[in-house]
Amino acid sequence: MSEEFIPRQNIQWFPGHMTKTLRMMEADIRQVDGVLQLLDARIPLSSLNPEIERITAGKPHLYVLNKADLADPEITAQWIRYFRSVGAGCVSINARQKGGASAVKGQILKELSALLEKREKKGMGGAKLRIMVVGIPNVGKSTFINTFAGAARAKAADRPGVTRGKQWVSVEGFDLLDMPGVLWRKFDSLEVATNLAFIGSIKDDVLDIEELAMGLLSQVRRIYPEKIRDRYKLSEEELAGSAWELLETIGRKRGMLVSGGEINTERAAIMLVDEFRASKWGRISLEKPPARQDEEEDYD
Ligand SMILES: Nc1nc2c(ncn2[C@@H]2O[C@H](COP(=O)(O)OP(=O)(O)OP(=O)(O)O)[C@@H](O)[C@H]2O)c(=O)[nH]1
Ligand SMILES: [Mg+2]
C-alpha cells in the first residue's frame, strides 16, 4: 500500500460569534442544571472541545455521540464503553430520530436523579430541568432540540455556523438552551483540525478541498480499504496508487474532465468529500478509543 497522505494545510476558523458564544456559555452555565455535549460519533475525541469542557466542568454532564447512523456501530459501542469506564455518562443517537431524543431524556433523568429527588422533597417537583446543549458546529445540536421538542423550533441546516445566538426551547419538563457551535481558538493538533474538516464542522471556504479529499481517501483507505474500492469500482492496483493518483483515477471514472482531456480534480474532490459526509462510502469511524494497557489502569 502506498504512503499515507496527510494534509498539511493550516486550518483556522474562529469567527467573532464563537468568542461571543464562549462568553455566553460562561455566564449561562450558572443557571443550568446540566450539560449535554454533542460529539460526532465518527470522531468522538477530535470533536470534544477542551474549552467547552473547561467551562462546563462544574455541572452534571452527558456526552451524546450523535450521527451514530454514519459511524461504524462496533466502534461506537467501544466508545460508549470507553466513556463509561472513565465515569462519564454517554449515549449514542441519531438526532433526526425520535428514539434518539428519548434515549437522551432517559439518561438525563438518570444523571440528575439526585437533583430531582431533592426538588421533590422541597415540593418543587414541577420545576423544569434546564439543560445547555453544546458542541462543535454542525454536530446536530439544533436538530436534536427540534426532535426532542417534536417540532422545528430551532434553525438547523447542513453547514457549520447556522445557529448564531442562544435560544431557549421550552418543552414538557425541560428548558433546552441551544448554543452556536464552537471550535478551537487555535488548533494545536493538525489531526484534530483535519478530522473536523472531514466531517464538515469547518467552513469549506477556508479549506483546500483537494488536500482534504486526498487526506480523507488516504485515511479511509488505511482503515476501510474495501469501502473505497467498492464505491469507486477500483482495481487493487488503482487502489494502491498515491493519494493524488487515486483522486485522478476516481475523477476519470466519474467522467470529470476539462477541455483537453485533463481531469477536473477539484470537482472530483468536492464530490468525494460530499459522498463521504453523506455516508455513501458506508458507515465509517475515523477514530478508535485509546487502547487500555491494563484493565486496572486509568486513562489519562
Ligand atoms: N445523518 C445524520 N444527520 C444528522 C444528525 N443530526 C443532525 N444531522 C444533520 O446535520 C446537519 C447539521 O445539523 P444542525 O442541527 O444544524 O447542527 P448544529 O450543531 O445546530 O450546527 P450549528 O448551529 O452550525 O453549530 C443537518 O443537516 C442535520 O440534518 C444525525 O444524527 N444523523
Ligand atoms: Mg444550530
Domains with residue ranges and CATH for the chain: 16-178 (3.40.50.300), 208-277 (1.10.1580.10)
The residue ranges of DSSP E strands in the chain, in sequence order, are 34-40, 61-66, 89-92, 129-135, 167-171, 174-178
Query: Which residue puts its alpha carbon closest to atom 21 of ligand 1?
Result: 138
What is the best residue among 72, 138, 178, 275 to mutate for testing ligand 1's pocket, by most ligand atoms within 8 Å of CB?
Answer: 138
Q: What is the pLDDT of residues 198-207, one digit of tens each?
A: 999 999 999 9
Q: What is the pLDDT of residues 152-164, one digit of tens each?
A: 999 999 999 999 9
Nearest to 183 by CA among 133, 138, 146, 131: 138
Ligand 1 centroid to 132 CA: how many Å? Answer: 17
Query: Which residue puts its alpha carbon closest to atom 30 of ligand 1?
Result: 67
Nearest atom, ligand 1, residue 100 CA: 31
Contacting residues for 237 by C-beta, under 8 A, at least 6 apart: none
Q: What is the pLDDT of residues 119-157, one digit of tens each?
A: 999 998 889 999 999 999 999 999 999 999 999 999 999
Q: Read off the pTM.
A: 0.94
pLDDT given at position 280: 97
Is the distance from the beta carbon of residue 66 to the nearest atom of ligand 1 less than 6 Å? yes
| Chain Cα centroid distance, residue 160 | 11
Ligand 2 centroid to 124 CA: how many Å? Answer: 31
Is the distance from the beta carbon of residue 180 to the nearest atom of ligand 1 less than 6 Å? yes
Is the distance from the beta carbon of residue 139 to the nearest atom of ligand 1 less than 6 Å? yes
Is it the case that residue 298 has pLDDT exceeding 70? Answer: no
Ligand 1 centroid to 252 CA: how many Å? Answer: 32
| Residue 3 confidence class, pLDDT cut points 50, 70, 90 | confident
Bridge-partner residues for 278, per DSSP?
none
Q: What is the pLDDT of residues 41-90, one digit of tens each?
A: 999 999 999 999 999 999 999 999 999 999 999 999 999 999 999 999 99
| Residue 261 confidence class, pLDDT cut points 50, 70, 90 | confident
